[in-house]
Amino acid sequence: MFFVTLQSDFNVNTHMQHAKRICLIVLLLLLICAGVLVSADFLRNRRLQKRASMIETKVEQYLLLHEELPKSLDDLPGLSEESEEKHGADAVLYYKGNDSVYVIYYCKSFDENWYYYSDTRQWTTLLRFAP
């Protein structure tokens, strides 16, 4: 009887240790997946910020050279249309308001957009009425 009690206690302890190991492995895998998703999102946002800044610079150069704003991004020389998306989640968009005001914007996340307004020369998440 004593042997059966020891053996059943041993089996319970072994099962508990096994369950703890499985929980730790699952937790570790979840942390790794979360880290990969966060870093991928960070890299995407960094790439979009870099492209938006490049477009801002090219629009300002175009304005200095031609004394008017480009009608669309297609008017800007030096943008590689083949390698960059013009539509979809990774697009950086341009809107010409009037002769001197424009907006550059992109989707940072599902519910957050970033806007650059040329009249204030600042990036913001707040959408204003068209200039």
Output DSSP code: residue 92: E
* Residue 41 CB contacts under 8 Å (≥ 6 apart), including other chains: 109
pLDDT at 4: 47
Which residue pairs, CB below 8 angstroms and at least 24 apart, start in 116-121?
116/52, 116/56, 118/59
- Mean pLDDT, contiguous 10-residue spans, the chain (131 residues): 50 77 90 85 88 91 91 81 61 85 86 89 82 53
pTM: 0.69
pLDDT of residue 2: 47
pLDDT of residue 80: 59
